[in-house]
Amino acid sequence: MEIAKGINATEYINLNLKDYSNSDWDYAISILDKRLTDRYLEPVEILIDAEKNKPLSEKKFGFTVLAIDCLIVETLQSFYEGVTDSTGLSKKLFRNFLRQRINFKTFFTNDADADYFFSNYRCGILHQAQTFNNSKVWTVGQLIVKQGDGFIVNRDLFHKAIKNEKDIYINLLYQKSDTAILDKFKTKMDFISKLQSS
C-alpha cells in the first residue's frame, strides 16, 4: 500500500534511520511532506481557488476546508508528540496544537478557547457536519475573531496558517538538531508504514 502518492510503505520501512546523519532521513521526511501536501493541503487549495472570484454570499466550501484542516491539526500534533493512536487524546492534541504553534497561540491564549474550538468546530464539523454555539466560518476578517459567545474563523487564513505549520514542522525535521522530535516522527511514521504494509 502507498503511504504517499507513488511511495509504497515498504520503501519507508527499508530506510536506514538508525543514524541521524544518514541521508535516508531526508527521504523519510519528504515522504511525510508529500503525504500531507498531496492528500490534504492541495485539495483544500483547489477548493479555495475555485471560489476565489465568487461573491462572499456564494462561497460554500468553508466546512469542507475546516474539516480537512482539522485533520491536519491532529495529525501534526500527533507527530510532534509521537502519538500513534489518538483515540481518547484528540482534545489534548488539539489543545496543545492551538496553544503551542506559532500561527495559532496568539489567538488561543487559554485552554478554554482551544477547547471551545475543538468542541464547536472540530467535533461539530467532523461528527455532525455543523458548528455549534454561534460559531461561524467566513472568508474575510482575521484568522480568529471572538464575537459574543462564539468565534468567527476565516477559513482561508486558517488554511494558510495550517500550511505554515506544516512547513515549520518539516523544516524542523530537516534541521535534525532535535533528536527527540526525530524520534517521535519515526515512531509515528513507523506505525503508519507498518499498518499500510500488513
Q: Which long-range contacts (CB under 8 A, 24 or more apart) does 144-147 make?
A: 144/107, 144/108, 144/117, 146/113
User: Could you give the angle at which helices 62-81 and 90-100 cross, rounded to 10 degrees?
Assistant: 90
Strand, helix or coil for residue 152: strand
Cell (9 digits) for 120: 464547536
Quote the cell numbers at residue 110: 487559554
pLDDT, tens only, 14-46: 999 999 999 999 999 999 999 999 999 999 999
Q: How confident is the model at residue 195, as a pLDDT?
A: 81
Per-residue pLDDT tens over the stretch 97-151: 999 999 999 999 999 999 999 999 999 999 988 989 888 999 999 999 988 888 9
Helix boundaries (H) for 82-139:
90-100, 111-117, 124-128
What pLDDT score was predicted for residue 147? 86
Taking only the tens place, the pLDDT of each residue in 149-181 is 889 999 999 999 999 999 999 999 999 999 999
Q: What is the C-alpha separation between 175 and 158, in angstroms, rounded?
A: 26
Confidence band, pLDDT 50/70/90 cuts, at residue 198: low
Radius of gyration of the chain (CA): 18
